[in-house]
Copies of this chain bind each other. A is one copy, B any other.
């Protein structure tokens, strides 16, 4: 009677509730955060992440590949995105003395000013729609869960 294909282990009610909750939360939460950010600072979440990561880098700049690795973006995605942000005057590509292929990303004054202006509102938005809705225990549990999932995925794709 065994045709060689295991019978699917469908999700239990609780498992399904968790998964659907994740998907739904993601849809609504990302949309809201993105709207807030776009309205208040004219940035996308991706823009914000790039500005944020570069500004926190030692020396205020980072090699493209290093930044991509740090953000877990593909080099392609980052390159495209940097091109667009460069056109808006938020970042610049610099050359690397030690490697002619290299490209160093750094913020323009405008980029720096933009992230400084945007940060408080963005944090407030994250609080309003997420952080402040949860108890410290829930936040801790959530952090634990998400990093567990992340670590697992990074084992396969280091």
Report which A residues bind B (CB closer than 8 A): 5, 8-11, 14-15, 17-19, 21-30, 32, 49, 72, 119-120, 123-124, 126-127, 129-131, 133-134, 136, 138-150, 152-154, 156-157
Contact = CB atoms under 8 A, between A and B. Distances in A.
Contacts of A156: 32
B131 A18 contact: yes
Nearest to A45: B23
B138 A141 contact: yes
A48 to B, nearest CB: 10
Given A32-B153, A150-B25, A9 B127 contact: yes
Task: Determine which residue in A21, A131, A142 has the highest number of CB atoms from chain B within 10 A of its CB, and name it.
Answer: A142
Nearest 8 pairs between A and B by C-beta? Answer: A21-B146, A8-B120, A25-B146, A18-B143, A28-B153, A17-B143, A18-B139, A141-B141
Contact of A145 (B28, B126, B141, B149): B141
Given A133-B148, A152-B133, A124 B8 contact: yes
A130 B8 contact: no
A15 B153 contact: no
A149 B20 CA distance: 13
A114 to B, nearest CB: 16
Given A25-B146, A29-B153, A134-B148, A15 B124 contact: no
